[in-house]
Amino acid sequence: MLDYLSAFNSAFPYQQFLEKYGTREQQNRWQEFHDSISLTAEQVDLLKSFTREMKVLVMAGAWCGDCVNQCPIFEHFAAANPLIQIRYADRDDSGLASELSTCGGARVPAVVFLSEDGQFCGRSGDRTISKYRSIVRKLEGASCPTGLLPDNSLTLDVIQDWLNDFERIQWMLRTSTRLRQLHGD
């Protein structure tokens, strides 16, 4: 099994990842999406309630549309609570692609959740359930977007899907017997 903590420690913070792997155009796309989203007061309150440090390793590609439309969300989570530490590893440069293969491919983003001491807690990605539902509806012809308005509701749903994943891991960490003994709570 891969040493995820070493991979996390070798990965980059958001801006450094984009500077190293993204073109100016790609960096602008990520920034535009980042600027277009915000969390609700309830979502921020939930994130602020997290008491356990969590390390989040994201295998991504600066060129990837799914990454553009998801990874900036994680940065909003981290901004709400400094206990959420996120690092990004490039799919093609990190050596993680085979370890984090999804459905037989090197799909991104692939997210690995770790405890404060680097223990594996869970994995998510490459898309959330809301995004997959949207894709399937389009494949089946049940949806005919006019193109007149952006699908802001999908973005809101994707934000909530990811928040649910982060929350699940946080409660796992909070209720862990090992970590409760370590922290005396």
- Position 112 scores a pLDDT of 98
Tokens describing residue 93: 């440069």
Averaged pLDDT, groups of 10, the chain, 185 residues long = 94 98 98 97 98 98 97 98 98 94 94 97 95 89 49 91 98 97 95
Tokens of 110: 């692939």
> Are the CB atoms for 89 and 34 separated by under 8 Å?
no
pLDDT of residue 149: 44
**Taking the domains of the chain in order of start, what are their residue ranges?**
4-183
Q: What is the largest CA-CA distance in the chain?
A: 56
Query: Is 2 within 8 Å of 95 (Cβ atoms)?
Result: no
How high is the pLDDT of residue 147?
A: 45
- Rounded CA Rg of the chain: 17
Any idea what DSSP says for residue 30?
H
Q: What is the pLDDT of residue 148?
A: 43
Residue 118, token pair as written in the block: 């680097």
DSSP-derived secondary structure letter, 127 = S
Query: Which superfamily, per CATH, for 4-183?
Result: Glutaredoxin (3.40.30.10)
Q: Cα–Cα distance between 86 and 89 in angstroms, integer? A: 10
Question: In what order do the strands lie in the sheet containing 84-90?
Answer: 84-90, 54-60, 110-114, 120-125
